[in-house]
Amino acid sequence: MALRVDFNNKNLHQCSRVELIQQLALKHLHGGFKKATSSSDNPKIPDPNLFNFTAEPKDARKECGRLPSIAECAVHLELLQAFRYLRIEILSSMALSILFGINPEYRTVFRKRVKWEGWTKSLVREEVKLRDENFEKKREKVWPLYLKLAASRFLSWIAAVEDFDRTNAPNGLFHLPPIDVLMVWHALLLNPKWFRSFEQRELKYLSTISFPWEQIHAAIDADSSKWSFKQSEADQAWFRDNCGLHPNFLEYLTKEQKSEHVSQYLTNYGKSLDSDGGHELDLESVSELSSSDSDSDPDPPELKFLDVCRIAAGGDDTIENLVDAVKRQSAFVDKMDKQLWIRSPAVEGTLSRAIIRYERFLKLFKLYPRTMLVPTLDIDLAWHTHQCSPARYEAETAEIAGRFVDHNDKLGTATLDPAFEKTKALYRIRFADDYQTCVCWDCEALRSAIADDDHKVPTDSASVAGEAQTTVAYYRAVEIARQTGEELLPIRDTP
Ligand SMILES: [Zn+2]
């Protein structure tokens, strides 16, 4: 612990993300590290050993069942990255914009240009096509349009999941849904009170299962810079058979052959958002389609999809609330991306500290039952991870916090800021530790190094800090190379 005093923490702290962005801008790719000679030599970051789902918590705490594990929190970080890249993919898909009837409007103008012919100068009028400067702005609508459809697909999925007969299914079998459905489910779970009474419908199955972290981890490719998500064949088949919908939603929207009816419907659906009310869409058109008998009649899966569209466009409160829940989560997704702990050398330490701090946070609820408590970023991650498994969450918060703790992500800073200050003070009094600390890569790496060092023979502070700093520099070089599209990443000589 003496290290903390000896070493000037502020000198080390450089706010990694800012540093990372600056180095990216300078294309300072390898930071003096050697480059792998083949992609099989690329470093594995995060370390696969981080995802040990069977590991017992380090200190078997008796008073609680099982708070989220390091592996679960780590998968959560991966999942949030996958959500982030999904949003980027949706927003940058030209095919999707066009499908929703959002097209760039090019403007043609004439400009005078000087033209030389030998020594004679003349002015000519030239036709210039100008880009649509509002196009990017207009395209932002694609995300809420997509989310409404995703929320509607989610409602189809919960009906199928709840009604599915599991009597002959292998024990514990669960089919992972597509990412759009997963994202809506995840956002709903982060509103525990709403989830418990969702649509006055008893979610018998979904309220008892633990969130499928291990399957999610298997579906995400952490080596890809875009955290691509892929369901297994069996999970895709289950979704197709039981929900009657296409598992890869974006692919269905942008690549698959669709009947004229469906394409036209989606274009109208996209345009409907232009009107003030947002729902001027002719809902009758769906039933007309199903009764018409032209050649391009929608087939049964298309009819099912049109039904999903109809519900999405219907202005139903549930859909709107689900969309809002996903949008609120997007802010947290961006915060986690800024920290990018999942690619940091200290990720294991960061998460293990977050879990311990989260447990203390829950204890504060019992100690101060009438006080509003606000989490820090790291505690919030552990809290969210816990909420994803509702039965466990309910039982464990009842035990540690003394009651069911709801999570309200709708509050503004005017309410949150004073409550945060209060929480900070109470945490300090109760646990004699800092509540709000810098959680950048550098500070976290130093924190982990100090914790490791505490168990060893005393070493000098400069060498412990120096080593931590070199490791951070290396991980940063790898991430910069990855984000700039390098296929061969920097490697280190020492293991
Ligand atoms: Zn820092």
Residue 245 is given by DSSP the state S
331 CA → ligand 1 middle, Å:
21
Cα of 89 from ligand 1 centre, angstroms: 31
Cβ-based neighbours of 102, under 8 Å, separated by 6 or more = 138, 139, 141, 142, 270
Q: How far is the CA of 55 from the centre of ligand 1 (A)?
A: 30
What pLDDT band is residue 6 in, cutting at 50, 70 and 90? Answer: very low
Q: Compute, in angstroms, the gap from residue 481 CA to the centroid of ligand 1.
A: 22
Question: Does 117 or 363 have the greater pLDDT score?
Answer: 363
How far apart are the C-alpha atoms of 154 and 181, rounded to whole Å? 5
- Note the pLDDT of residue 66: 72
- Cα(465) to centroid(ligand 1), Å: 13
3-class secondary-structure state, position 34:
strand
Ligand 1 centroid distance, CA of 288 (Å): 61
Tell me the CA–centroid distance for residue 7 and ligand 1, in Å.
Answer: 13
344 CA from centroid of ligand 1 (Å): 13
**How far, in Å, from the CA of 36 to the mean position of ligand 1?**
29
Residues around the ion ligand 1 (C-beta < 5 A): 13, 438, 440, 443
Distance 20 CA to ligand 1 centre (A): 13
- Report the separation in Å between the CA atom of 147 and the middle of ligand 1, taken as the mean of its atom positions: 35
- Between the CA of 350 and the centroid of ligand 1 the distance, in Å, is 12
Check whether 278 has a pLDDT greater than 50.
Answer: no
- Ligand 1 centre and the CA of 192: distance in Å? 32
Model confidence over 368-377: pLDDT tens digits? 998 999 999 9
Q: Cα(82)–Cα(220) distance, rounded to whole angstroms?
A: 7
Query: From the CA of 220, how far away is ligand 1's center (Å)?
Result: 29
What does pTM read for this prediction? 0.88
For the segment 57-96, what is each residue's pLDDT rounded down to a tens digit?
Answer: 545 444 444 799 999 999 999 999 999 999 999 999 999 9
Phi, psi for 431 (deg, rounded to 5): -115, 5
Of 212, 210, 213, 201, residue with least CA distance to 162: 201
pLDDT-based confidence at residue 443 (cuts at 50, 70, 90): very high
Q: Which two tokens stand for residue 153?
A: 């697909």
Least confident piece of the model among 221-235, 320-334, 444-458: 444-458
CA-CA-CA-CA torsion sign (66, 67, 69, 70)? negative
Question: Residue 24: what pLDDT?
Answer: 61
CA of 2 to the centre of ligand 1 (A): 18
Q: What is the mean pLDDT of residues 170-191?
A: 93
Whether pLDDT at 211 is above 90: yes
Give distance in angstroms: CA of 437 to centre of ligand 1.
8
Q: What is the pLDDT of residue 5?
A: 38
448 Cα: distance to centroid of ligand 1 (angstroms): 13
HSE value, Cβ hemisphere, 13 Å, CA-based, for 109: 8
Which ranges constitute the DSSP H helices of 206-316? 213-219, 233-243, 249-254, 260-272, 284-291, 300-313
Task: Round the average pLDDT of the chain to a whole number and report it.
Answer: 86
What distance in angstroms lies between residue 79's CA and the mean position of ligand 1's atoms?
A: 24
- Higher confidence at residue 13 or residue 462? 462
pLDDT at residue 428 greater than cutoff 60? yes
How many angstroms does the Cα of residue 442 sit away from the middle of ligand 1?
Answer: 6
Gyration radius of the chain over CA positions = 26
Q: What is the pLDDT at residue 255?
A: 84
Gap from CA of 469 to ligand 1 centroid (Å) = 12
Helical residues (DSSP H) of 368-460, grouped into ranges = 377-387, 390-400, 413-431, 441-453
**Token code pair at residue 403:** 């009651």
pLDDT of 279 strictly over 90: no
Centre of ligand 1 to C-alpha 421, Å, is 20
Separation between Cα atoms, residue 93 and residue 250, nearest integer Å:
9
